[in-house]
Amino acid sequence: MKKLNFGDVHVLIVAHDKVTAASLKTILRNAGFNSMGSVKGLADIKTALDEEPPDLMICECPFPEGDPGGVIHALRHHELGSNPFLPVIKVTSDIRAAMESPNRKEG
């Protein structure tokens, strides 16, 4: 089986919890991802998307300032960032919040 090369894939990690961010970075680094950026709040996502557009965004939810659904909606509707097709993975330890999230419907 051919080994996948993730070395050139840039991942943006959006996590308010330091342990979650560190854990995700470790998992990704062990899988071969080398280019990672991280932000701690929803307000910082726009700056990160403008500075170095990622190939993948992994977003912890919910955030103290709310669900990232509005950010993902803006991304999908060309109001934020340069790639409306950016893959977004949401991670949570709160299954109830994930099931009630508005962007389950928005992609």
pLDDT of residue 27: 95
Query: CA of 49: how far to CAs of 19, 21, 39, 61, 95, in Å?
Result: 23, 17, 10, 18, 27
Q: Give dist(CA 20, CA 1) in Å, integer.
A: 31
At 45-60, the pLDDT tens digits run: 989 998 999 999 999 8
- Give 63's pLDDT tier (boundaries 50, 70, 90): confident
pLDDT of residue 69: 83
At 11-29, the pLDDT tens digits run: 999 998 899 999 999 999 9
